[in-house]
Amino acid sequence: MKAQNNEFFHKNSELSMEFSKYILEHPEIEELLTEEKTIVFLPEFDPELKEFNLKMAKDIEAEGEKVLYVRIKQVFPKISSRLVGVEVE
């Protein structure tokens, strides 16, 4: 169970970094983000993580806090570098 929780933490951390990049490219979304809400990712491509995050969100809401759900349909594969045509002499 602990190993799975660590895996989910790692996956959520990656989604958080990607969401931060997305916000930089789509500043209109930033107005939806407030310190009063906890962001919870619902990745459609990862049913286990989605279920884990939904349970976590329900626990947060049960404590009287607000949640902002972010549905994600897919994530493109990682690209190690955006550089093209590099020549080293």
Contact yes or no for 56/49 (Cβ under 8 A): no
What is the domain range of residue 44?
2-72
In a domain, 15, yes or no: yes
Angle, in degrees to the nearest 10, between helices 47-62 and 2-25: 90
Long-range CB pairs of 20-26 (<8 Å, 24+ gap) are none
Q: Is the dihedral of CA 43, 50, 53, 31 positive or negative?
A: positive
In a domain, 13, yes or no: yes
Q: Of 46, 51, 37, nearest to 14 (Cα)?
A: 46
Q: What's the number of domains the chain is made of? A: 1
In a domain, 50, yes or no: yes
Give 11 or 30, the one with higher predicted confidence.
11
Digit-coded pLDDT (tens) for 15-72 = 999 999 899 998 888 887 877 899 999 999 999 999 999 999 999 999 999 999 999 9
